Chains A and B, each alone.
Chain A
Amino acid sequence: MSAPTTERRHIVVPPGQPALRVETLSVWYGTRQAIREISMVIPERSITAIIGPSGCGKSTLLRAFNRMHDTTPGARVEGKVWRNGIDLYAPDTDPVWVRRQIGMIFQRPNPFPKSIFENVAFGLRVNGYRGDVAARVEQALRAAALWDEVKDKLDASALALSGGQQQRLCIARALAIEPQILLMDEPCSALDPVATMRIEDLMRELAKSYTIVIVTHNMQQASRVSDYTAFMLAGEDRIGELIEYAPTREMFIRPRDRRTEDYITGRIG
């Protein structure tokens, strides 16, 4: 196999206003490099899926978008992530400010061990929200399609909800502080098919006003919900790279790279 950097990549630049412009982004954990020089443009108000086999660095890439690696000891990021002309990794960019605008949903629902109401109100409180907290909580729960199920038990523990409800609560919690981008790290992998479908419907709804980037190992999910798909793969050196990035339909019907084709037809991974 020839050196990966010399191979031709099929990476499109989506038209329109970019939500994030990623430039030669690399991440290390200690001395081990996890992803290498990834460049891509994520379009606004759309869903971009990142797919690839386990260990290809898709979650690592996603967590680089809102500087979650800052909280991991030993993690190091090189490269740039631009949003509206601001480099999120510039020395004077505050990671707390970045995460305030770019929310994140995790693989396992992680509600705080508090009431449903307090879970949603937390982001408002820490960010000094001065308006009507109760109204905002209701608005966020409605946006996450959870309001009707919880409106009579807002003071009940969030941990008493089902897994799917907990994940929608986490989405409501993220929406409450009005982020512009939502990062979702395999948000449905701990959920049953019915709960998964509800989240997917919700994502389509949210994509009308938010930019969503979702990491998934479920190719059907990527093809169902996303507008653009990025395919990542780790080479023999186990460093993840971006192999192909294209409109979802195009990639699933006519993949340009053989490795993409092998993956989506189930020959590898």
Chain B
Amino acid sequence: MPAEPLLSVRDLSMRFGGLLALDAVHFDVAPGEIYGVIGPNGAGKTTLFSCLVGALAPTRGEIRLRGGRIDGLPNHQVVARGLVRTHQIVRPFRDMSVRENVSVGAHFGSGRRRGADAARRVGGILERTGLSTRADAPASTLTIGELKRLEIARALAAEPQALCLDEVMGGLNPSEILEALSLIRSLRDSGLTILMIEHHVHAVVGVSDRILVLNFGQRIAEGPPADVVRDPEVVSAYLGGDDAVPLFPEA
């Protein structure tokens, strides 16, 4: 672990009435890392992302981005500091074209670009995410694969330092998943730090530097993918049993 993490989370808890959705979660993410977050349904993964970006105000805990506290800030201020998330259930602006959707990120993200500068940036991102040919199509006409890419494109246009991807591979076919994985790797290679929630465990194991496993809001394991998937507690969380069978035999 390098001395200065990009993102540092301590004692993070989120309570909804009687449900403790996150229970004293802690972790650090290094600059340039791909950090996977996995866990069974209802483990608190999306709640974690909502707390990180300020869409939800955590009940307790501390979130630091490059050393500065961001917990308690509203979502748009967290975006301005360079932490942006995508949505698991895609949320396009349906009356806008693809280009206009991405422009929202360029105008109001940390870059705050206007006019030709914004248009250039948007054009580059559409190119990179393979949406150029659909730039002027209404967002309501996109396929699910294109909508997932639009989520990433809009978030990129907001010029994050760290990008939180919430199941961007859900609903994609195998070749689209390969494309998404290569996009994620190329984003990291260009200096971006990535946090990703993913149900496709094989995909996340293949691409992540480290993985955090949540179960019922608690951190049950963290570390390199190869170690995490052999962890007995992780195996039992996924299979619901006590048998320490490796969950992902040398895939």
A, B: real partners? no
